[in-house]
């Protein structure tokens, strides 16, 4: 079992003094057994931009990969080594894995994809590899991403492939977007 993510949230007291209003393990963690026990620690979510600075925690409302329309979501995903589950991953199971996080429609699985977990969302995603390494798989190429690397994923068809023997943790900020075309 990996160490939980500690979430510290600040705010203001009744006198307007900056204070810590919460300091605990991230309260909303989702596990996807069809992805070998992948975990998604939901850290913050907003349903609009600009954000309401004093909005209450809404992470319990996160039900999909994508953020709310016009909003954003901040999460850390822990990817287990895929060799523990990839051999059994049919197209139906890949769609079910995305369905387990409310986004079956994101699955792009077909006979011609490079990886069974190819998916696409209408978002701009900022990713920072916190620990380990992971392959970013695109339609025509693959890039090895290691600790400290930053990925700007702009609504492309892609998959995350952990081919190592260890977990990989990536912090993601997903921002609702739209294609110009």
Per-position DSSP letters for 126-144, written without gaps between them: EEEEEESEEEEEESS-EEE
| Burial letters 34-43, b for 16+ CB under 10 A, else e | bbbebbbbbb
Which domains are delineated in the chain? 27-176 (2.60.120.10)
Read off the pLDDT band of 1 (50, 70, 90): low
CB atoms within 10 A of CB 65: 21
Determine the average pLDDT of the residues in 19-38. Answer: 96
Q: What is the pLDDT of residue 58?
A: 95
What pLDDT is stored for residue 133 in this prediction? 98
Question: What does the pLDDT look like over 43-77, one tens digit per residue?
Answer: 999 999 999 999 999 999 999 999 999 999 999 99
Average of per-residue pLDDT across 137-148: 97
Dihedral (CA of 127, 38, 159, 86) sign:
positive
Secondary structure class of 38 (helix, strand, coil):
strand
Instruction: Supply the pTM of this predicted model.
Output: 0.94
Instruction: Name the H helices within the chain.
Output: 91-99
60: left (phi over 0), alpha (psi -120 to 50) or beta: alpha
Q: What pLDDT score does 91 carry?
A: 86
**Sheet containing 133-138: order of strands:** 142-146, 133-138, 158-161
């Amino acid at each position: 079992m990996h160490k939980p993510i500690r979430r510290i949230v600040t705010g203001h007291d009744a006198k307007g003094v900056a204070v810590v209003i919460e300091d605990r393990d991230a309260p909303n963690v989702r596990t996807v057994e069809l992805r070998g026990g992948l975990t998604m620690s939901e850290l913050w979510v907003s349903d609009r931009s600009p954000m309401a600075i004093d909005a209450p925690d809404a992470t319990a409302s996160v039900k999909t990969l994508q953020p709310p329309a016009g909003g954003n979501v901040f999460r850390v995903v822990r990817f287990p080594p895929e060799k523990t589950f990839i051999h059994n991953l049919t197209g139906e199971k890949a769609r079910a894995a995305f369905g387990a996080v409310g986004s079956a429609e994101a699955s792009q699985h077909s006979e011609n994809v490079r990886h069974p977990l190819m998916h696409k969302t209408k978002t701009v995603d900022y990713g920072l590899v916190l620990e380990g390494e992971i392959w970013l798989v695109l339609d025509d190429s693959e890039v090895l991403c290691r600790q400290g690397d930053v990925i700007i994923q702009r609504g492309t068809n892609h998959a995350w492939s952990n081919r190592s023997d260890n977990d990989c943790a990536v912090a993601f900020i997903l921002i609702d977007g739209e294609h110009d075309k």
